[in-house]
Amino acid sequence: MALWGSRWRKPLDKTVEDFTYSLDFDKRLWKADLTGTLAHVIMLNKIGVISEEELKTLKKEIKNLYLEILNNPDLIRDSEDVHTFIEENLTKKIGDIGKKIHTGRSRNDQVVLDLRLYLKEEACNIAELLIDLRKVLFDLSEKFINVPMPGYTHLQQAQPVTLAHYFLAYDAMFSRDLERLEDIYKRIDVMPLGSGALAGSNIPLDREYTAKLLRFSKISDNSMDAVSDRDFVLEFLFFSALVYTHLSRLAEEIILWSTKEFSFIRLPEEYSTGSSMMPQKRNPDVAELTRGKTGKVIGNLVNMFTVVKGLPLSYNRDLQEDKPSLFSSVDELKITLKVWTGFLSHIEFNIDGMYRFSSEDFLFATDIAEYLVLKGMPFREAHKVVGEIVRFCEENNKKFRDLSLEDWRRFSDLFDESVFSLLTPESSLKFKKTYGSPNPDINREVIKKRREEMKNT
């Protein structure tokens, strides 16, 4: 029977029972629910609602149920939701004492407590996975700190960068994601129990004590908001969508790089798939699925916004729909971060091929314009002069490298012998002065700084 059944004369219609049932997905909150229940009864004992004897029995039965479920998770069935399942099972074992555990508590504050406990733990797991991924990016950046590759804008060859610079660009995204997660954590870490159904309780529950037992940093200060607030879920779903979007961009890069046309990388066998028909194929399924699953993870955020946007205060059953979205994003994010950490560390890079493309000499056009600026020419004029040189080269089927000093000086007498030292990717990188540029010396500093910052996460 439902927890609220005493006033009802007729049983719930079977279709409604099926329609409202949430145990299938909320059963994963069983540990959080038992932990919250344990803290609640310890607090009830402290304020004199439960005797020492009763507390002892409750503790024992909570522990037993914990172990039973741990050994046999299939035990969780036949109840409307996980909270009902746990309360019913405790009551079945210890009769009247079990009936006391819901004192001053509603499933409305209980469900949000469970969700917060669950998410605190998962946020820490995900932070660790992000750190693992970032470590791989740092290692790759160190390894390829001097390896030139072409950088693109509009997917057209632009200027030489390094493979390290590419990885550090993605790491910059993940470092912001980690920072965001830390910030969101503060708002997950709020203890709602004691808010009751919506208006608190007449029983003097010691909320601070419950918070301390459950290691929450603070307690909520408005009971209506506490039972209806899902901002922390929305924030987490946004965070997941953004991490996933970053991974999806990286995925797109990998897919492109693995094509015959680019041939910048070779996909590791353990992380790619073949074709059932074309024997020569090696497909980037990990990257493609990441790109594909991004739709679902962004969808989870949109779903939750849509659930919340028209809700009056306070708790409404609509809020039960927060869980499938949240669990889906947590699961996808965890496995995806894990798979990318392994995937990236196994990719083979075609360093020679990247070098060849980064040596295409029009990639040095901007360096040449800046060379003229450093010799005193206004930038617009320098841009025009180099544009003319490019046109000359194209029309005469020449490269910058084929030009003699005389040729250069026909366009500007500011050119001297030193112009020849500009025409390799190494010099292009070495001459970069600005912090944040691909200059390997600067990137070494950046890696050091980021590793340091990450340690304090």
Which residues have a catalytic role annotated?
154, 275
Q: Quickly list DSSP for 404-423.
A: -HHHHHHH-TT--GGGGGGS
Q: Which residues of 279-288 are buried (b: 16+ CB within 10 A; e: fewer)?
A: eeeeebebbe
* In the complex, least distance from residue 217 CB atom to ligand ARG, rounded to whole angstroms: 24
DSSP code, position 347: P
Gap between the Cα atoms of 445 and 456, Å rounded: 17
Tokens representing residue 185 in the block: 């954590």
- Strands (E) located in 293-355: 348-349
Residue with Cβ nearer ligand ARG (81 or 332): 81
* In the complex, least distance from residue 171 CB atom to ligand ARG, rounded to whole angstroms: 37
* Closest of 219, 12, 11 to residue 112, by C-alpha: 219
Q: Are 119 and 326 in contact (CB under 8 A)?
A: yes
* In the complex, least distance from residue 329 CB atom to ligand ARG, rounded to whole angstroms: 17
Residue with Cβ nearer ligand ARG (115 or 123): 115
- Strands (E) located in 89-192: 148-153, 156-162, 190-191
Gap between the Cα atoms of 240 and 235, Å rounded: 9
Q: Are 78 and 166 in contact (CB under 8 A)?
A: no
Q: Are 372 and 380 in contact (CB under 8 A)?
A: no
* In the complex, least distance from residue 226 CB atom to ligand ARG, rounded to whole angstroms: 13
List Cα–Cα distances, 209 to 63, 170, 194, in angstroms: 21, 43, 11
Gap between the Cα atoms of 372 and 389, Å rounded: 13
Residue with Cβ nearer ligand ARG (26 or 253): 26
* In the complex, least distance from residue 197 CB atom to ligand ARG, rounded to whole angstroms: 7
Residue with Cβ nearer ligand ARG (4 or 379): 4
Backbone angles phi, psi at 286, to 5 degrees: -60, -45
DSSP code, position 355: H
Q: Are 370 and 386 in contact (CB under 8 A)?
A: no
Residue with Cβ nearer ligand ARG (26 or 235): 26
Q: Is cis: bond before 223, omega within 30 of 0? A: no
* In the complex, least distance from residue 187 CB atom to ligand ARG, rounded to whole angstroms: 19
Helix axes 107-143, 82-94, angle to 10 degrees: 120
Gap between the Cα atoms of 162 and 146, Å rounded: 6
Q: Are 387 and 398 in contact (CB under 8 A)?
A: no
Q: At which residue do the structure tokens 């700190």 appear?
A: 145
Chain residues that interact with ligand ARG, rule: CB under 6 A: 22, 26, 81, 107-108, 111, 315, 317, 319-320
* Closest of 343, 47, 300, 311 to residue 170, by C-alpha: 343
**Polymer length in residues for the chain:** 457
